[in-house]
Every structure is written in structure tokens, then in C-alpha cells.
Amino acid sequence: MYNNPIAQVIRDAFIENVSRKELIQNIEDPKVNTIGNILRNQRITLFEKAINRFLQKSGLPDIPPISQYVNEKNLLTFSLQLSGYIRDAQQELDKLSNKHACDPDLIKLYEAAAKYSVDCNEKIEGSKYIFKEHCDYQFWKVHIDDSLASAKFNNYGFIVNPNRKNLILAMPFHINSTQEELQAWSSKYLNKTLDNKAIYGSQVDVYMAHFPIEQPRGEKFALSLKTLNNPNNYFTETDMRFVSSYLKGFIGEDIKIDDKYKVIKGKAFSAEKFKQNCQNITIIGYCAGTAHASRWINAFSHIANQLYDEQTTKEALKNIFIVSYAFLPMQKESKCSGVYFMSNYPDDTMRKEPFIKMFNPELYEKCKYHPSDNPCHISLMPDNKNYVIAFPLAENFDIVNENGVKEPLANIENGHHMGLITAPNASSDYHYPNIIFNSVVKNASLGKRGTDVFKYNQSQSRSNAAHFSIISNRYAAYNK
């Protein structure tokens, strides 16, 4: 897309991180047509052409020609860090429009970066990366005895029960499938939000979905942008497999679909039963995990529309509830209901929340927290069932670590880190973001919908309860 400010960022990053880096000398003579050299030249040339196509469409000159002696470790790192270069380019983010953010040419560049990273598997000396495109989701049932930090994750032998309350954690993680990593990553971002065994694991079954470590980063970002470009209908074969494997029991009985996603067998529930089943689905989405959830709902809707009339499906889907952090609603009229939380500095000049801004820049500016006496900024979407709550980000945000020592929350990325809402700020008495988030998650998980998700446990301190009541009433009445 012409004049996309992201293009200059990508070009500058290539020059700095590839062109100006030292070349390698111990490569075989590239003029000798060994299989290794032929494949090497092919993958480099394909990626080089993809970069130049993106730059040309933006009205910029090509990158300097990639040397035949280029260090592919640097080129691979460049392919993996495209989103990071954009994240750090605050000046260019300030100029970004929604059309530029979701530029189809940028999507193609991300896809080319993903392909290049896969083509490099076991081809670069010293690189331990192994990538695979179009991986299935890793899906776990989470057994919480005391905390997420010691939870057990099971990925076989279970059925998601439509007659139970279900909370699905849709996370952007790329991690190894070990108990240690699953425990560490989930507790790092969700902290103690689910550490209540009287609810989670007892009244509410908890699951977690994420892509495996083998998924290329470029693919994840391409998927998110494709979802943003077609939020009502887009899903992939991977998403349909996920829904068919775990969620089709919420739609009807004995459902089977063919390879064209057509229902070839199945029995619908009554309209009321279908609506109740949907009310038993609550999703916590973090960053790109919210885009994953949107695609699941599109696949879910695609099946449901073949068994129910349009109005019944519409009424049922609004009972599915999303609690999101660091990803805003993708459309004015969403299929499901939800609360979308975000944090930003009251003065965000040159320090905007980077990923919300790079995915949904115009809505970010409308919904972000502006300096005021209010404890948060509340925005209601036109569908009257989805809210955005923006909290002011403190200049200093500390947590208490496992040893009871106060330390700064690392890598908060101007408000992107989920820990900013799932943990209290140990250096402040202002804990309302954490209180409100936890209350909404609990209420939604237990099946409450509408303004009931904002009800607060009055057994909490009087000042906290009064403050939450003010915010809850603003939700209910909504006053821009």
C-alpha cells in the first residue's frame, strides 16, 4: 500500500541488521552448484523479492542487494523480528491508519518471512530454530489445586462439557509443551487471577490454547491481520479443526462435517439449549490470542448457521463472552459479548501501547485513557454488548516475586504486558485494574452476562467496593 509508514521502518531495519552486518567467509563457493548452495540462493532470493515487493508497493526503493556471502543468522533474525521493528517505531506508529496497519502487502511480507524461516530449518550452522507452518493448537485442560504456578496441564483424554461452565485461555504463547514452561508462562501473565479453587476447577473447568513453539512468528502476525481484515468470517482449517475437536458439542449432537466445512450429519438442540450452551463458554484472550478466539467463533458460527436460523444463532453467540487484554474489538458489531481491557500512559507521546496501536491504531486513539480525574476511560461499542476499559499506566509498576521481594515488572512494553492487570501494583494503593479484571473474569466464568459481569463482592473493603460501584454504574448507564 502506497505511503505505508511501516515500509520505511522495515527498510531501515534491514539495512541496520543485515546489510551493515559482517559477511561470512567460510561459506562454500556460491558459484559452485552444490545442492546446498542452490537451495540457499533460492530461499534468500525469494525472501529478497518479497521484501522488495512490499517496499515498491509503498513507493520506496529496493533494499540493497543481498550479498551471496550474507550471514543467514542475521537474515533469519530479521525475518523473525519484523513485528519487533514495527513495535519499536513510535514515530511511525503515530502516523499509522487502520488501512496501513492491515495492509495486504504487509500480510504477504509476514507470510514470506514465515516461509523463509521454515526454509532455513537445519540449514544454518548454530541455529536451533525449527519451524513448521499451519500447526494445530496445543490445547490443555488445566487442573488448578493451589495456583497456576503448580497446575497440571493435560492434553488428552478429556471432553469440553457443554453442560459445565468453561473458561478457555486463548494465549499468544510459543512455548515448549512441558509442565514447567506451561506453569511458568501461564502464571507469569495471569498471576493469581485463577488461584481460587472454589471456582476454577470446581465450578468452572479451565482450558488453555496456544500455538506450539514451531509456529513461525510471521504466520502469527499474518493470521492476526487477516482476522482484522475479515473479522466476521475469516477462519482457517486449523481453527475449524480446533472447533470440530473441542467445541462442536456445544452446537448440536453427533455433528460431522466434510472437508468443505459442510455439516453432513448432526442434530440441533432446542434454541434455548443452544443459547445456554453458549453461555457456558467464556474466553480470556491476551493479545493475538483474542484474534485466535475470533476465528474460533467464526468457525463455530459457520457450523451453527447450518443447523439453526440466523436469529437463533445470533442470540446464542452473544452469550459467548470474551475478556480480552491488549487487543481491541475488531468490528463495530461483534458476534459475541465482551470486555476489552487495556493500559496506557496518560501521556503516551512516543510511548504508545505498541501492539494495540499497530493492529488497531484508530480505535486505540478513541479508547485510550486520557489524563483526567476518572479512574478509567470506558468506551461502548455500537453493538451495545462490548466495552473497552482503558486504565492509566503508572510510571512505576512493581510486583512481589516468589521470594516476597518487590521488583519492577519487566518488559511492560508501554502497557502491553498482561501482568499490569492480573497483578496489583506493589508500589501503589491503586489496585482497581486488578480488582475489576478479576471480578469480571470470575462473574463471566460463572455464566453472568450483560452488566452482571461488573458486580463486585461487597465483602471487600468499603472503599474498594464503593469505587467499583462507581465504575460498574458507568458501564450500566454508559456516559461517554
pLDDT digits (tens, 9 = 90+) for 312-347: 999 999 999 999 999 999 999 999 999 999 999 999
User: Which set of grid coordinates corresponds to residue 186?
Assistant: 501461564
pLDDT at residue 218 in the model: 97
Continuous H helices in 174-319: 179-190, 217-229, 237-246, 271-279, 288-304, 310-317
User: Which set of grid coordinates corresponds to residue 164?
Assistant: 459445565
The DSSP annotation for 136-187 comes to PPEEEEEE-SS-GGG-EEE-SS----TTSEEEEEEEEEEE-S-HHHHHHHHH
Residue with cell 550474507: 70
pLDDT at residue 471 in the model: 57
Q: Which residues contact 259 (CB under 8 A, 6 or more apart)?
A: none
User: Which set of grid coordinates corresponds to residue 126?
Assistant: 548454530
The 10 Å Cβ neighbour count of residue 246 is: 19
Instruction: Pick the closest to residue 166 from 315, 301, 276 (CA basis).
Output: 276
Which helix (H) or strand (E) segment holds residue 363: the answer is helix 361-367
pLDDT at residue 479 in the model: 39
User: Which set of grid coordinates corresponds to residue 169?
Assistant: 485461555
Identify how many contiguous H helices and E strands the chain contains and give both numbers: 18, 13
pTM of the model: 0.95
Question: Is residue 323 a contact partner of residue 282, using CB atoms and an 8 Å limit?
Answer: yes
pLDDT at residue 457 in the model: 66
pLDDT at residue 401 in the model: 86
The low-confidence residues of the chain, meaning pLDDT below 70, are 25-26, 30-32, 457-480
